[in-house]
Each structure stands twice: as C-alpha cells, then as structure tokens.
Structure 1
C-alpha cells in the first residue's frame, strides 16, 4: 500500500510568519509615519535651540543700552582706566589727579580681656554722623564672663546697624592684642572711630579711647581737576570712579606730581571692538544657518545623504528667505549691510570683509548702527530688530510656530502610538488564530501518519501469511 506524504508545519513558526505577513503592509506605513513624526519633533527642538541662541546673541549686541558700534575712552598717561558706551560723544578732555580716595583704617593696641557683665555699650561712629551700638555684655559669646578683643571685633561685625560698613579684626603684636577697624567704603565721610562713653570697665575704656587710637590709613576723598590743577574746576568725591562725561566712566588709580600737566582723555570709535561685534553677528547668523542647512538639505543618493526633515517645508523656506531679506534691508541712505562688508554666500551663510567695514565706518560712522538697529521687544529697528521679530514668530511660547508645530506633532505621535497598539492587537489575534489552526493540522497529520503506519503493518502481515 502506498503512503501519502504531506508537508509538515511547525505551528509557532508558521503562525509567526503568517501573522507578520498579515500586518506587514500597515506596519510599514505606520513605521514610516512614526519615523517621520519623530524626526520632525527632533528637528523642531534643534530649530528652537538654534533660534533661541541666535536671539540671545543679537539681543546682547544691540539693545536699549548697547550697540554694534563700539566706543573707547583712553588716557594719555597711566592715571586710571576709562570706558565709553555706545552713546558717548567723541571728544578730548583734560584732567589732573590730585588725590585718590582711600578707605580709613585705625587700630587700638594692647586691648586686654575685661569683665563682660555690666561692661556697658560701645558706639561705632562714622564721620558722616551715623553710628551703631554694641552691647558688650552680649558680646561674650562663650559666656565665660570674660570679654576678649576678638569677641568685641565679632560683635562689631554682626551688629544690626553695621550693614557691612565697618570690618573689625584683631592682630597679635608682640604678644599683645590689637583691635583694627576698617571702613569698607572710601571717602572722608566714612572715617570710623569709637565712642567709649558708655563703656563701664576703666581698662577697656582706656584701651578703646581716642588716646590709644592710631591711624593706619587716613580716610580721604578723591580730588580731580577738570583742566589744570588750581585753575581748572575742582571735583571732590568719596569714590575714585567719576562719571563727569555723559556715557563715560573713569576710575583713577594714580595721582600726578604737583604742577604736572593734565592728562588727556580721548573718546572715540573703537574699530577693533566694532569689528568684533560685527563678526559676532556673522558667527551667530552662520550657526543658525548651519542648522537650517542640515534640516532642509535635499537627498543625494550618490553621496548617501538623506533629505532633511524640512526639505519640502514651505514655512521654513520662507523663514530663510526673510532672514536674507532682513540682512539686505536698505537704510535711509539707500545702503545695506553689504556696504559695510557683510555679504551673503551661496550656502546662505554670511561673510565679513573687514577692510570694507573699516572704510565704510570711516566714511559714515553712524550708518552701521542705523542699519543694524536695535533689539527692543516689538519695537525693534533695523536688521537686528527685523531678525528678532522673525525669530519671535517662531519661538514665542504662546504664539510661535515651533510651539504650534510641536503640539501638532505630539498629537500625531500619540495617535500613531495608539495605532501601533491596535496593530499589535491585530497581530496577536492573527497569531492566535493561525497557531490554533496549525496546531490542529499538526495533530491531524500525526493521527493520519499513525493510521497509515497501522494499515501498512496490517497489510504487510496479511501478505506474508498468504
């Protein structure tokens, strides 16, 4: 009797393959959509970071108090330092430095320990008439009824009325304790002294009294003459930093010899700093442009380059066009930043021609700031104002395109996750169905093979008997 052979199937392997094939088409579509959504979300995050960094950079360049065009202030001799902000007017000024302001410092030698209980009060006074009081009994922080100079110093430093105006410390000089008081601000009005009329201990009163006071550094004001000493205008103040010229700050650190000629302060344009400011703008713009290039690149199979997430995005393309337009904005005189050496390259980046920048500034010093403008919220002006407004249309947390797009992509990702779960349910159902069918088939094949073997054995036995 002939045996009928039929193919055998492993139920698990067969069910897995058939269930996978069952959802393959939908899974491929869903995986592609998920990959695209994730790439878009990542691209939006990259774009948001790049735009935020660019906004920060241009806001620091030209706001209400700063500008691209830089000024400098320089002394003809080393009497101090000076700085000028963007609004300073060019010019030259003469000054004579007669005296520098100093912070006063005094000492009281051989301050011995005294009894804390009933020690009275100590007043610390300043030359401007202000003072603060120390309760000497409370100064005994270790409660041993012995008041040391260190405890007095500590009490002065933490006194409620001190407000960091006076710093007290102690020195060990030849085995004796010296109390040192230092004013923390310069100027004659900040000279410090002690009023011991409230101190009850005779020894402590004598040690901290005026008769035992020594001046380490005299407190004095700064004296500067506008013009020559004696014939110019005398200016006296507590600080060594003077703001006599609008938008210019001067800090003096060296006095001049009596009768010496005044020093000259020159305020004018700082080409080096201005060039650095312009280069900073170009660098910041190019960093953003690099990110945009990567997000909008077209596919090139010959180089193995895939298309960027925003390769066909009309909104991002419009953004790039408007960025270029902002840089090319014409000023009142018909010039643009191109006239100052800032030109767009084929890849969308900017380049700076320093030589052309210097020549343009020399010809029109105020034109550069006019073209760059200011970053000032919704009222910005010039190229920087236009760029900042453009960035805000994308980065604004309430109305920006990036936020709107992120919300949309997030909803899509949630929907795709739900669809993935549904697809998994379909797979599980198909797998279960196929597994049941092929398990039953396997059992049927096994039974048929068993019957076939039985008949084969039976007929073989009958043939032998005949």
Structure 2
C-alpha cells in the first residue's frame, strides 16, 4: 500500500494522514452497529441457556409429582430411638407396634491357652456353624453350617502364635485373629466377623496332631474367655422374633427396626408409620418455586419500562413470548385428573397479588402457596391431590404435572424449542461475524485506493511546486537583466 511521508500535499500543510484516517473511520462506522448486535446476540444465547436450565429444573420438580414414589413417602417414628430405631419404605401402610429387646446379636469370641515359642507343625481347620445353647468346648455340640466350606491353615514347625494369627487373617475363614500376650505367654484371640447364631466357629486340628498346637483349638479354649455367637432377640406386640444382626429387616412388612440396646421389662418401645404429607408439600413448593424462577426470568426479559423507556432483552422476541405463554397456559389449565381439584387455586396455589396495582402488574403471574389450604387438601383428599398432578393411566386425564413435564421435555429435546433457538442465534452470530469481516475488507480496500490517489496527487503537486519555483527564479533573473 502506498504511504505518505510528507505532512501535506505538496508540502502545502494539509494533514493528509488525518484526512485518510477519518475517511476510513467513516467506512468502518457500520462495525459499531454490528458489534452491538453481536454482543446482544451473545447475551441472548447465554440468557436462553439460563432459561433452559431453569426449565430443566422445573421438569425435574414436575417429575417428583408424577412419580409414584413421590406420593408414597412415609414418616417413621420411635418413642425412644436410643433403644429401638426404625425406617420404612415408601408405600408402607400406616401402622403402629410395640418392640421389646431382650438380647443383642453377638459374634463368637474365644481365647486359646497360653503358649511360648513355636507350636509345632500341623493343620488347623476352621469351620463356621452353630453351638446352639451350649458353651463351645470339650463337651459342647457344634453343628457346621452346610453352606460354608472348612478352611485349612497349614502350620509349619517354626510358626509362632503370631504367624498363625497372620495366616488366619489372610485365609478369609470368616474369623479374625488377634495376639494377646500375658504372664503365661501368648494367646490366640479369635472373633467371628459376623454376628448371629449361625456365625459361630470351631477350630480343630485337621490331622489329629497333639502337642502345643492342640492348645489353640476349640477343645482347649478358656470357657471364661468365650462368648457364644447369638441372635438378637425381641418381641413385637408380645411375639418373639430373632435376627442374626441387630437389624430386623423382614419382621414387619415395609418396616426395618434396629435394636440399639436392651429395653426394660414391661416397657416396650412404640414404632409408628404414617403418611408423610410434609414430603409431598415440599415437592409441591419446589414445583411452584421452579416455575416462579422461569416466569421471573421471562418477565425480566420481555418487559418494557415506560418510565425509563427501556426494554428487556427479549422484548418483542416472538419465541420468548411464545415460551412464556405456553408455560402460563399449562399452569392455568384445568386438570382433568381429579374430580375434586381442577385448578391450582383449588389446592391453595394462587397468583400473588398486592394492594399496589403497579406492583401486582409487575408480579406477572408469580405463584404463591397457601400452606394451610394445601395441607387441608392433602389431609382431606390426598388421592385426589395426587390425581390432580399425576392423573391416572388414561392419557386423556393426565394431571397438571404430567402435562407440564411433557411440555418441558419437548422444549428440552434435540430439535426442540431451545435447540432450535440456539441454532438460529448461532447462525445470526456467524452472519454478523462475516458482515464485520466484509466491512473491514471494504475499509481496507478503500484505504488503499484513497492513499494511492493522495500519493499520486502529492507527487503531482510537488512537481508543480518545483516548476513554479523554477519559473519564479527565471522571472527574477530576467527582471534583473533588463534593469
């Protein structure tokens, strides 16, 4: 590109560079509008992304009101959870029963006789099973659990009690081994990993070896150091029940209660199960809150402030207005699911109002929950409230939450409202980028052309100035010669 080195044409003092710069700036003026449009489009893309997230949250909230489990929540209470705690699965029928705990579940634990040094070579066998009501020992009766396999522990002549304990712990035999050292030497402490009558164990020498090794077996344990594996025992409404653990999961249908500690005789703990309307109320309130968040964002985006004459980002945007209208229509529609409650107002969900007419207009469809009215509906006709939101198996009688969830799913799907809107906005942003590039190219070409013209003019004017100086010089010389 031609450049101008002189400050003006023909050194006439004209600032050519400034003139060219200003002319190029005029050529680039459309960029200001294009950049503003690009910024607005980018902001819209971000804003619609936010609205999409809010609609997704609304869809999730509606899902909780369409799910069967969302309406089957129950509350479980214990008159004293320090003795007996309890939980219940959703859908459990309301009930109440008394529990007394006579015994907690135990694992078997034993201690061998004292041994010093190596115990001798041989094989120890560990079997899981039950000792019944007798103390395991020389005269006890052990019944092996047929569903388990005996584990053999090979002991070498050089193995100490500590070595044997390590081998037992690595054998996955269902027991854990610990070493105890006292004045008499070392003892092997064994404990079953699980509690319950069937989690007892017996330790014998597989090959009938005697000597020090036999002092580790069940026949040689110290009775005073022994605890028998036992089930937890309780009564439910006076009926005896047992469990291998302190948790009774299959005793009362739908209810799991846990024996925390023994109860005093004649002082049962009462477990109660009731419908948990508070959970349903929380789901309804979350649904209303999710809708209000979407509605508020759309109100802000589509508003027009007469006082300041400012407009929202989506003011006049047909797709945003269409989204707002669709959501409001869904919330205001009659629900055919229930014959008792057909509109949100029937269960205490109404449009928020204010004594100030301008404030009421500004609220723009925001909903509020009349907790007392909702609680009464849930108490008087919980099934009808459920039908209002869920409907039944007939598509024609789908409830409000089902319809709104379907509407939201369509909007969020690939090719749906948000996907299509994003495609349109991204295409607009791409065109804007191309338009900016075109303006820059046009301005650049213009700058080249005008710079070349001014350069040529500068050269021509310089020549004329030189000619003018020469003529003036000749005239001066001529005048002198004729004087």
- TM value normalised by structure 1: 0.77
Q: Pick one of 205, 215, 220 that aligns with 2:230.
A: 220
Unaligned runs of 5+ in 1: none
The Cα of 1:170 is off from its aligned counterpart by 4.4
Change (3 A) 1:370 1:433: same
Counterpart pick for 1:235 among 216, 238, 241: 241
| SS of aligned partner of 1:285 | helix
Distance 2:207 2:465 in 1: 120
Structure 1 residues 71 and 360: alpha-carbon distance in aligned structure 2, compared to 1, 3 A threshold: same
Question: Is the CA contact 2:162–2:179 (under 8 Å) kept in the aligned structure 1?
Answer: yes
Distance 1:154 1:387, change over 3 A: farther
After superposition, give the CA deviation of every residue in 1:360-392 in whole Å (9 maximum; x if it has no partner).
33322333333333899x999533322222221
Task: Report how far residue 208 of structure 1 moved.
Answer: 4.9
Distance 1:60 1:126 in 2: 47
Taking only aligned residues, the RMSD between alpha carbons, in angstroms, comes to: 4.0
Residue among 433, 448, 451 paired with 1:432: 448
CA distance in 2, matches of 1:221, 1:211: 25
1:18 alignment partner in structure 2: 23
Provide Cα deviations, 1:47-79, integer angstroms capped at 9, x if missing partner.
Answer: 222222333344456524332x74322233443
Residue of structure 1 equivalent to 2:97: 93
Conserved 8 A contact 2:87-2:256:
yes
Q: Which position in structure 2 is the counterpart of 1:340? A: 347
Distance, in Å, in 1 between the alignment partners of 2:307 and 2:282 is 40
Q: How does 1:394-413 map to 2 (within 5 A)?
A: 394-396=411-413, 398-413=414-429
Deviations 1:205-225 (Å, cap 9, x if unpaired)? 423544136656542222232
- Alignment correspondent of 2:84: 80
Rounded Cα–Cα distance in structure 1 between residues aligned with 2:377 and 2:472: 108
- TM-score with structure 2 length normalisation? 0.75
Question: Aligned to 1:429, what secondary structure does the other structure show?
Answer: helix
1:447-458 aligned within 5 A: 447-458=463-474
Matched, 1:133 2:142: no
Residues 111, 190 of structure 2: 8 Å contact kept: yes
Q: Which has the larger radius of gyration?
A: 2
Q: Residue 290 of structure 1 aligns with which residue? A: 296
Residue deviations 1:162-211, cap 9 Å, x none? 5xx54444456669655444444332122244344259795344235441
Deviations 1:316-366 (A, max 9, x none): 123322442369676222443423322233433321222222333332233
For residue 185 of structure 1, the aligned residue among 169, 194, 204 is 194
Q: Is the 8 A contact 1:134 1:156 kept in 2?
A: no
* 1:399 Cα offset (Å): 4.4
Secondary structure of the 1:289 match is helix
